[in-house]
Amino acid sequence: MNRYSALGLVRGALGGHKHWQPAWRDAEPKPSYDIIIIGGGGHGLATAYYLAKVHGIRNIAVLEKGWIGGGNTGRNTTIVRSNYRLAPLHDLFEFGLKMWEHLSDELNYNVMFSPRGAMFLGHSDADMTRLAERGDAMRCSGIDAELMTRDKLAKFEPLLDLSRSARFPIEGALIQRRGGTARHDAVAWGYARAADGLGVDIIQKCEVTGFVRDGDAVVGVETTRGRIGAGRVGICVAGNSGHVAGLAGLRLPIESQTLQAMVTEGVKPMVNSVIMSQSMHCYISQSDKGGIVFGGDPDNWPSYAQRGIPMVMDGAIAQGIALMPALSRLRMVRTWSGVTDMSFDGAPIIGETPVKNLFLNGGWCYGGFKATPASGWTYAHTLATGKPHALNAPFALDRFRRGDTIDETGTGPMPNSR
Ligand code: FAD
C-alpha cells in the first residue's frame, strides 16, 4: 500500500508513527562540560551550534528549564530586519540578516525565511524626516532602505487607509525589502538538531538554580538535575536575565516586562509586508497560514507573568484596524505573551560579566528574534575566546557604567525604544 494514501494517514494517526527518529537526543547531564549555556531558546541553541561548528568545542550542554523554544523564541511575531539608524545596531542586525538568507541551507532545515519587506509608516513631516535620516544612515553602511511615497504605498499595500481623514494620516514609509519573517519554532528546532548532530547535549527540564563558585570564579551550576561543572557559563535566558544573573550576585540594568501578540483566523493573502507604525504603537503582518498577526506595546511594568492585560491588547487591535479597516471583519483566534528583557537603553547586552567565567547574552527587549544567528555567532566567539567579537564589543555590560549607551529611540514598532 502507498504509505502516503489516506488509509496510510489514518493508520499513522491511530497507530502512532513508526521509525521516526527524534530530531535531537534526550541527553543526560554529564558531571562537567567545557561550556554550559543556560537557556534553550534560539540564542542559546545558535550559540551552542556555532561553538561546535566554528570553534570546534564539542563538550557543551544547553540547559533548558522547560522545553526548547518554549520561551520568547516560540512566542514572538517573527519580524526579521536590520533597519536601525545607529551603526552598532544596524551592523549587528545586518550581519544577522545576511545569515538568515542562507540559514535553511546552513541547518538543512526549512526556517521559512520570507523576505517580503518590512516597513515603518510615517504619519507626519517629522516622522518622514526621521525615517529619511534612518534610511540614509543605513545606506551609508551599504544596507538597503527605500522611502516610499503615498502613491507607491497605495500600490504596494492597497488595503492601508491612505485617506486624509484617517485618524493618523499616512504620509509614506521606509521599507527594507530584504526584511520579512521566518518560522520561529523551526529556528529553535533547526539549531537544536544541528547542534545535537555536532555532539552538543540538549538537556530539557533542567533549571539552573544557582552557581558553583571557586573564589571569584564560576566553576559550575546547581540545577534541578544536580550539580554540573563548567569551564565557562553563558547566560541566555531572555526575560529571566535579571533573575538568573541575580543568582550570581549581579544586578542588571534590565527590567522584565510582558509583551503580547495576537492572531486572527486565516484568510487569503491581504497584507503583503510587515507594517509597523511607531506613532500608532502597533504592527501587523500575515502569517504563512493566513492569520493576521498583531503586536503592540509591552505592558510597561515589571512582571514575570506570561500573560498580558486586555487593555494593551485592545489598543494594538484598535490601532491595527485604524491602519487597515478591512481587518475589523476578522475573528481573533489566539493571544499570547512572553516576558521580554528590557534593557535601559533598548540595546542588547552581550559579553563578559564582573564574575569570572560567567558571560551574559540578554537585554534584547522585543527585538531579539531577528538577531538569533548573529547573536549566536558573536556570543560563540566571545565564549570560545573570552574576548568580544567586533560586532558585539559595543554591547558590553560595562557600557552603562561608562555612560556609553546605545540609545536609539524608536528601534522597534514602539516610539519608546524600551
Ligand atoms: P528565549 O527564547 O526566551 O529562551 C530563553 C530560555 O531560557 C527559555 O526557554 C527559558 O525557559 C530558559 N530559562 C530561563 N531561566 C532558566 C533557568 N534558570 N534555567 C534554565 N533555563 C532557563 N523579536 C524580533 O526580532 N522580532 C519580532 O517580531 C519579535 N516579536 C516579539 C513578540 C512577542 C510577543 C515577544 C514576547 C517577543 C518578541 N520578540 C521579537 C523578541 C524575541 O522573541 C526575543 O528577543 C528572542 O526570542 C529571545 O531569544 P532567546 O533565545 O534569548 O530567549
Distance CA 242, CA 362 (A): 9
Q: What percent of the chain has pLDDT over 70?
A: 96
Nearest protein CA to atom 9 of ligand 1, as residue: 71
Q: Is the same domain home to 148 and 223?
A: no
With 0-12 CB in 10 A as exposed, 13-18 as middle and 19+ as buried, what is 118? buried
For ligand 1, whether the C-beta of 369 sits within 6 Å is: yes
Q: Is the same domain home to 136 and 275?
A: yes
The amino acid occupying position 48 is A
228 close to 32: Cβ distance less than 8 angstroms = yes
Mean pLDDT over 194-211 rounds to 98
| Ligand 1 atom nearest to 81, measured from its CA | 25
Q: Is the same domain home to 298 and 379?
A: no
SS3 state of residue 207: coil
Q: Is the pLDDT of residue 418 over 80?
A: no
Q: Is the same domain home to 295 and 363?
A: no
Tell me the per-residue pLDDT of 2-32, one tens digit each, with 9 for 90 and over.
455 777 777 777 776 777 889 999 999 999 9
Tell me the per-residue pLDDT of 112-142, one tens digit each, with 9 for 90 and over.
999 999 999 999 999 999 999 999 999 999 9
SS3 state of residue 277: strand
Q: Is the same domain home to 129 and 166?
A: yes
The CA 191 to ligand 1 mean position distance, Å, reads: 15
Assigned domain for 315 exists: yes
Q: Is the same domain home to 72 and 92?
A: yes
Q: Is the same domain home to 184 and 84?
A: yes
Domain stops at, among 286, 317, 342: 342
Assigned domain for 244 exists: yes
The owner of cell 561543572 is 229
Distance CA 263, CA 279 (A): 21
The CA 409 to ligand 1 mean position distance, Å, reads: 22
CATH code, domain with 159: 3.30.9.10
Report how many domains make up the chain.
2
Nearest protein CA to atom 33 of ligand 1, as residue: 76
Count of other CB atoms within 10 angstroms of residue 81: 27
Question: Which of 90, 223, 237, 300 has the most ligand 1 atoms within 8 A of CB, as the residue to mutate?
Answer: 237
CATH code, domain with 191: 3.50.50.60
* CA distance to 8, 46, 284, 323, per residue, from 43 (Å): 38, 5, 24, 33
For ligand 1, whether the C-beta of 346 sits within 6 Å is: no
Confidence of residue 92 (pLDDT cuts 50, 70, 90): very high
| Ligand 1 atom nearest to 338, measured from its CA | 36
Q: Is the same domain home to 310 and 202?
A: no
Write down the pLDDT at residue 415.
47
Assigned domain for 12 exists: no
Assigned domain for 10 exists: no
Mean pLDDT over 340-367 rounds to 97
Among candidate residues 304, 366, 373, 294, the one with its CA nearest the CA of residue 331: 294
The CA 71 to ligand 1 mean position distance, Å, reads: 5
For ligand 1, whether the C-beta of 299 sits within 6 Å is: no
Domain stops at, among 342, 376, 397: 342
Task: Determine the angle formed by the axes of helices 184-197 and 372-385, rounding to 10 degrees.
Answer: 30
Q: Is the same domain home to 239 and 361?
A: yes
Tell me the per-residue pLDDT of 42-77, one tens digit each, with 9 for 90 and over.
999 999 999 999 999 999 999 999 999 999 999 999
Domain stops at, among 342, 358, 393: 342
For ligand 1, whether the C-beta of 208 sits within 6 Å is: yes
For ligand 1, whether the C-beta of 368 sits within 6 Å is: yes
Could you give phi then psi for residue 207, rounded to 5 degrees?
Answer: -90, 135
304 close to 239: Cβ distance less than 8 angstroms = yes
Nearest protein CA to atom 36 of ligand 1, as residue: 338
Write down the pLDDT at residue 148.
97
Tell me the per-residue pLDDT of 297-346, one tens digit each, with 9 for 90 and over.
999 889 998 888 999 999 999 999 999 999 999 999 999 999 999 999 99
Assigned domain for 101 exists: yes
Helix (H) and strand (E) counts in the chain: 11, 18
Among candidate residues 78, 64, 71, 162, the one with its CA nearest the CA of residue 122: 162
Distance CA 123, CA 281 (A): 12
Nearest protein CA to atom 40 of ligand 1, as residue: 367
Write down the pLDDT at residue 3.
52
Q: What is the mean pLDDT of the chain?
A: 94
> Which residue range forms the structural domain that includes residue 375?
27-113+180-253+344-418
Nearest protein CA to atom 23 of ligand 1, as residue: 367
Among candidate residues 338, 336, 335, 253, the one with its CA nearest the CA of residue 304: 338
| Ligand 1 atom nearest to 184, measured from its CA | 47
For ligand 1, whether the C-beta of 338 sits within 6 Å is: yes
| Ligand 1 atom nearest to 39, measured from its CA | 7
The CA 239 to ligand 1 mean position distance, Å, reads: 7
136 close to 144: Cβ distance less than 8 angstroms = no
Q: Is the same domain home to 190 and 330?
A: no
Assigned domain for 14 exists: no
Assigned domain for 15 exists: no
Distance CA 310, CA 305 (A): 14
Q: Is the same domain home to 171 and 191?
A: no
| Ligand 1 atom nearest to 341, measured from its CA | 45
- What pTM did the predictor assign? 0.95
For ligand 1, whether the C-beta of 41 sits within 6 Å is: yes
Write down the pLDDT at residue 411.
54
Please, what's the b/e burial string for 237-257 (b: 16 or more CB within 10 A of its CB; e: otherwise)?
bbbbbbebbeebebebbbbbb
SS3 state of residue 369: helix
Residue 114: beta bridge partners?
A: 181
Q: Is the same domain home to 163 and 51?
A: no
For ligand 1, whether the C-beta of 118 sits within 6 Å is: no
Mean pLDDT over 387-398 rounds to 98
| Ligand 1 atom nearest to 70, measured from its CA | 9
The CA 237 to ligand 1 mean position distance, Å, reads: 7
